[in-house]
Amino acid sequence: MHSELDGYDRKILALLQEDASLSSAQIADQVGLSQSPCWRRIQRMKEEGIIRGQVTLLDRKKIGLNTQIFAEIKLNAHGRSNFTEFTEAIRGFPEVLECYVLMGSVDFLLRIVTADIEAYERFFFEKLSMVPGIQEVNSIVALSEIKSTTSLPV
């Protein structure tokens, strides 16, 4: 069971979303708490699963992943009956950063990153199109990124 988030919790979460390397003393100073209560709040939010983890965010372009593709996937009737098989295959592809189940004319939306279009073509033909149950893939190339954030509006 999750406890209600108060103003201090929300300020702590906002700070951690911007810089997870901040110490509890630094956070406490910025939110107006002493270090011990601040640390306890952070620990409670970790235990409750509100804080799922702390990561380092990379600039994909600076490490050579210049192409971002959104792929709409439609499964055939057999594929829909083997939902687990499809999801396990997708989870195994490091190129797929996100996968969502949708309602509507397509079943899934994938966010995929690769070095370039040729790398996406190889991924598509050697991996994605080999997943059983896929009826149709509509690939949409993102030309530029207007906004990208991992921060939730707390």
Q: Domains, the chain, ranges and CATH?
A: 7-47 (1.10.10.10), 60-142 (3.30.70.920)
Identify the bridge partners of residue 109 per DSSP, sorted by sequence position.
72, 100
Judged by DSSP in three states, 140 sits in: strand
Kindly report the pTM of this predicted structure.
Answer: 0.87
One digit per residue, the tens of pLDDT, for the chain of length 154 reads 567 999 999 999 999 999 999 999 999 999 999 999 999 999 999 999 999 999 999 999 999 999 999 999 999 987 677 788 999 999 999 999 999 999 999 999 999 999 999 999 999 999 999 999 999 999 999 999 999 999 999 9
DSSP annotation of 72: E
Give the ranges where 19-103 is alpha helix by DSSP (H).
24-31, 35-47, 77-81, 83-91
- What is the C-alpha to C-alpha distance for residues 7 and 130, in angstroms, rounded to an integer? 49
